Amino acid sequence: METEVSNRFDNFVLHMYNHLTREQRYGIYLGLQEKKSLKAIAQAIKVSESTVCREIKRHGGSRSGYNWVAADEKAKKLAHRTSNRKLKPEIVMLINDCITKDWSPRQTAGWLEKNYSIKVSHEAI
């Protein structure tokens, strides 16, 4: 029996972010083949409707073009990619100079890009 509290809880859980599983991607594929609505597909695989919409746009572009196997392989590759997040000592010195001048991270990032063509996000600073 559904209650207002259980519906709110379900909606809360639906909006928590998790990566889609292989089974969920297959569920999207089946739902599209059966011409179900995005809302029905989302409810069936227990994710938000926007997640289903994003997944289709990201890995198929249309209802007929969604390939769940290719989508899953691409997602696995993206999940295992590495990135070099460590800043070089010279850049750290420049950032520290800006910080001692009481510059904000956004100001620092803008200054580095303008003067040195160095792109560093303000979050990294």
pTM of the model: 0.54
**Domain 4-80 listed as CATH 1.10.3470:** no
Where do the domains of the chain lie? Answer: 4-80, 83-125
pLDDT at 6: 57
Residues 17-65: tens digit of each pLDDT: 578 999 999 999 999 999 999 999 999 999 999 999 999 988 876 666 8
**Torsion angle, CA of 17/7/5/47, rounded to 10 degrees?**
-10
The answer to whether the beta carbons of residues 120 and 109 sit under 8 Å apart is yes
Structure tokens at 62: 């249309």
